[in-house]
Amino acid sequence: MDLTYDSIAEAYQRLAVPLVFLRPAKDLLDALKSAPDADILDVGAGTGVTAQAIESIKGFKGKLVELDISLQMLKASHSSNSVSKVVGQVPGLPFCDKSFDAVMANFVLSHVLKYKEAITDMVRVLKPVGRIGISAWGSEKHQYSDLWDKTSESFVSKELIENIVSEFMPSREIFTNPENTRELLRAAGAREIEIHKSEAVVSTTKVDYIAMKSVMLQGRFIKSTIGEKGWSEFLAKLTKNFDAKFSDPIEYTSRAHLVVGSKP
């Protein structure tokens, strides 16, 4: 069962990035206050959302390095030729100490079992007075995610879904609370730690919302568990349930928290 990001890179870039990942990437870059000539490392860069967001730094002429464990995610990135792409993982960053002015991880560390080592490694590759930023989602739900969950639980048990989420995102609970991230950054030697909020109103169609959820972890897991026929039935039921309760466009507020700090 391939639940990695490899198989969904193109759909992730097309559906999930514009709907929910671009806004927090922009906000995290703002919170890092990088100079236009900064060397920035984006850990778990995915399909290059930071490269898209960096266009908002006026006159940026620094260096951006995108690192990801998934070659397919990096391949789906449309970032310009000036962006370096590296297949690698955290912990175990393939860079010398004190290489970057800023290091960021957008919605990545929840996937990492050795998250303490990961943060220590990110601080290691920062130059003195360099800035580190970590973002994660909160635990909030909304009526659309509730309806997705309710429908999916009539096809695959809630327990099975929760087990797979814990396996694939072993540190999700930790990073849901920004105070934990603050404490982890402090323990890794960062100082001047601040917590920021990133909020955006997501406005989309029911079809695009369901398509986006389908490529996320729960969707991939449900599909691989119930097979093609079951998946068609699931989508039909989901569409019926959504049509019975909601009309287009559907809107909700997506909320993330951003924790930033400095290396002394």
Ligand X SMILES: C[S@@+](CC[C@H](N)C(=O)[O-])C[C@H]1O[C@@H](n2cnc3c(N)ncnc32)[C@H](O)[C@@H]1O
Q: Residues 231 to 250: which contact ligand X by CB under 6 A?
A: none
Identify residues 62-121 at the interface with ligand X (CB under 6 A): 68-70, 73, 89-90, 106-108, 111-112
- Nearer of residues 92 and 227 to ligand X, judged by Cβ: 92
| Tokens of residue 126, six digits | 């920062």
> Least Å distance between CB 140 and ligand X?
17
Phi, psi (degrees; rounded to nearest 5) at 23: -60, -55
> Can you say whether the dihedral through the CA atoms of 22, 26, 28, 34 is positive or negative?
positive
Neighbour tally for 241: CB within 10 Å: 16
Q: What is the DSSP letter of 7?
A: G
Residues in 165-224 at the binding interface with ligand X, rule: CB under 6 A = none
* Residue the block writes with tokens 């792409």: 85
Tokens 């404490």, residue located: 183
Taking the complex as a whole, the smallest distance from the CB of residue 245 to ligand X amounts, in Å, to 28
Pairing of strands 126-137, 250-262: antiparallel
In the bound state with ligand X, the residue whose beta carbon lies nearer, of 121 and 242, is 121
Query: Nearer Cβ to ligand X, position 101 or 121?
Result: 121
Strand partners, 66: 42, 85
Closest CB to ligand X among residues 17, 125: 17
Smallest separation (angstroms) from ligand X to the CB of 93: 9
Residue number of the CB atom closest to ligand X: 46
Distance of CA 134 to the CA centre of its chain: 10
> φ, ψ for residue 63 (rounded to 5)?
-120, 130
Q: Is 40 in the site for ligand X (CB under 6 A)?
A: no
Site residues (vs ligand X, CB under 6 A): 5, 17, 21, 25, 43-46, 49, 68-70, 73, 89-90, 106-108, 111-112
